[in-house]
Each structure stands twice: as C-alpha cells, then as structure tokens.
C-alpha cells in the first residue's frame, strides 16, 4: 500500500507530492493515519527553502499533526493522538503526508473535547500560546492588574493568546503591523490594537512602565522595547524571532523592576505540561471561536500557502486536510 506525501528533496524541483510506501519514512515505533496538519512559519521556511530547517533529505515537512494510531506497541490502534515538536518535520518525517511514523513518547492522546481539525486549528501555535499564558499565571500576574501586550497578533500564536487572555479577564492590547486585521483582533477580545511601529523602535534602558505581561512572538527590537516599558514584576514571555534574533537591553528592567523574561519552548516541552495545556485548550478555545481564522487546503495547496506565509500575507491558521 502506498500513500500520498509531500517530500522535500535537495534537487530541483525541491518539493514533490509523491506516492510512497511506509518503509520510505524514517523509522518510528508508532504508525499514524494523519487527518490534519497545521501549516506553520517553520514549515514555510522549509518548503520555500528560505530557512535552513531540514537536517536531512528527502524529508516530509510538517511540524504538527493529529490523527489515529494504525500500529503501535504502546497505543491501542484507533487511539486519537496529537504530535507537535520534537524535531518532527526537521529531523524526522512530519505531518504533510497521509501517514506518519513517530516515537510513542512524542505523542499525547487527544482530549475527547477536541476533533482532529480543532486540534490542528490550535496546533503548535495554540500550544505555544497556552504555555505562555501558564507562564504568566505562574509569574503571579492576575487579571485586572494592567494591560497585557500580544505582539505578532495577526499570527496563530497571537490570535489564540488574545482569546485565552481575554477570557481569563485580562486587558489585552494587540500589536500588529496590519491595520486591516484590527476588527478581527478586536473580535477575538483585544481592547486596543497598536501599530507595531510604536514598539519596533529604539528604547531607553527604562521608560514609563506600561505592561504587566506580554506574549511576544516577534523578538528583536520589539522584545527589547517591551522589557524597557514593563511595569514592576511584569512577566514577558518570548517565543519568536521574526523580528530578529538579537536582543538589545540592559540589566535595569530585571534589577530595578523585577521583570521576568520567560522563554517558551513548545518543541521539547515535557509531556505532563503538554497534557495540561491541551486539556485547557480543548475547552478554552472552542472550534467555533476560530472559524474566521481558519483556511483549509489540501496537499496541493501547500507550496502556494507557504509563499504567502513568508510574505506575511496570512492571518490566522492554515490547515492541511490529508483526507482532501
């Protein structure tokens, strides 16, 4: 039996949709029938060749997916599972195929409240957003204590973070460079939409404190300015580098205001924390709340969608339906 897969090759053309056999996949102890995969910025870098994401060729990209177990020594066949992270789609074949091989220790059972489509509408972006919210809570920031900034608000992490934080009672200020997204961000719960130019600027070592917390999916100068404009005791979570990998700051936000800079790692996050995050996501963000932020495509639409992602022309989540 063969199945359809999108594979990247180091020859030209680099991307091919092929019929392959299970034996062509890198080995794993669990075989999964993939139902949905989410398309992420990292996938776009891999497919377009704009980033050095793939470690070995040929490779099936796709850093997250949801499906059913076909064969496993750990899971009962038919078990609904989710996979995000662990180097899948980079070092190990990923979810842009009708079948995938994975290690059982990378998988979690999908909560009953989630369909495969709902799980991937959330995907790595949703998991990352929830981990950021959990870190803000662990840092002692409470609803009503002041405004929370969400940068890169037009993306997957940003949109879900806005929804989560608003529903918990926080005042959320969405930071975006796309004014046409303002109404959608307000519909998700943002009380204000700020032009990214207000934060993507050089800042003094310390400025007037404004934020009690932030979910920063941009990095670079944006993150530097967030630190300089944070209130005492603020928790600034960081999980992106679209704005650059550099960070220009001083010790002042940390030693004079007690600001916490908390990195969010959704790739190698422990399973117990993943399970907690997914259980919360299942009920905190209903699929209906994401309906206006979802675009669904098949494998044949992946290359074009990746080009759009790289160009910053995508808002919300792109889902790849492997049964389409």
**Do the beta carbons of residue 58 and residue 8 sit within 8 Å?**
yes
CA pair distance 74, 51, nearest whole angstrom: 35
| Bridge partners for 294 per DSSP | 317
Query: Which of 67, 50, 89, 35 shows the shortest CA–CA distance to 296?
Result: 35
CA pair distance 280, 284, nearest whole angstrom: 6
Map tokens 């009690």 to a residue.
212
Tokens of 321: 């339906």
What local confidence, expressed as pLDDT, does residue 14 receive? 60
Tokens of 308: 């759009």
Tokens of 22: 């299970």
- pLDDT per residue of the chain (324 residues) written in tens, 0 to 9: 799 999 988 755 566 899 999 989 988 999 999 999 999 888 998 888 888 888 888 899 999 999 999 999 999 999 999 999 999 999 999 999 999 999 999 999 999 999 999 999 999 999 999 999 999 999 999 999 999 999 998 888 998 999 999 999 999 999 998 888 898 899 889 999 999 999 989 999 999 999 999 999 999 999 999 999 999 999 999 998 888 899 999 999 999 999 999 999 999 999 999 999 999 999 998 888 888 778 899 999 999 999 998 887 877 789 999 987
CA pair distance 268, 291, nearest whole angstrom: 29
Which domains can be identified in the chain, with CATH numbers? 2-110+286-321 (3.90.180.10), 125-263 (3.40.50.720)
**Do the beta carbons of residue 172 and residue 165 sit within 8 Å?**
yes
* Cα atoms in the Cβ-side hemisphere of radius 13 Å centred on 232: 3
């Amino acid at each position: 039996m063969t199945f359809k897969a999108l594979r990247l090759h180091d020859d030209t053309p680099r991307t091919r949709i092929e019929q392959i056999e299970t034996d062509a996949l890198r080995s794993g102890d669990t075989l999964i029938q993939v139902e949905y995969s989410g398309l992420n910025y990292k996938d776009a870098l891999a497919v377009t060749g704009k980033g050095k994401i793939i470690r070995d060729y040929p490779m099936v990209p796709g850093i997250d997916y949801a499906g059913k177990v076909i064969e496993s020594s750990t899971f009962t066949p038919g078990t609904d599972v989710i996979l995000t992270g662990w180097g899948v789609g980079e070092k190990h074949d990923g979810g842009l195929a009708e079948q995938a091989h994975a290690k059982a220790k990378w998988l979690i059972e999908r909560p009953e409240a989630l369909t495969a489509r709902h799980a991937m509408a959330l995907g790595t972006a949703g998991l990352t957003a929830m981990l950021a919210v959990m870190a803000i809570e662990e840092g002692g920031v409470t609803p009503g204590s002041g405004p929370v900034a969400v940068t890169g608000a037009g993306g997957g992490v940003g949109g879900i973070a806005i929804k989560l934080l608003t529903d918990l009672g926080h005042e959320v200020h969405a930071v975006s460079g796309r004014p046409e997204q303002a109404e959608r961000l307000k519909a998700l719960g943002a009380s204000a939409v700020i032009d990214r130019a207000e934060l993507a600027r050089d800042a003094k070592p310390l400025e007037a404190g404004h934020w009690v917390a932030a979910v920063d999916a941009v990095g670079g100068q944006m993150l530097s300015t967030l630190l300089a404009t944070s209130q005492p005791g603020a928790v600034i979570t960081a999980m992106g580098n679209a704005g650059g990998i550099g960070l220009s700051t001083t010790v002042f936000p940390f030693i004079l205001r007690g600001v916490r800079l908390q990195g969010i790692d959704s790739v190698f996050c422990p399973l117990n924390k993943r399970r907690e995050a997914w259980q919360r996501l299942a009920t905190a963000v209903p699929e209906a709340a994401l309906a206006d932020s979802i675009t669904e495509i098949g494998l044949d639409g992946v290359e074009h969608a990746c080009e759009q992602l790289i160009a910053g022309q995508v808002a919300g989540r792109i889902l790849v339906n492997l049964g389409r």
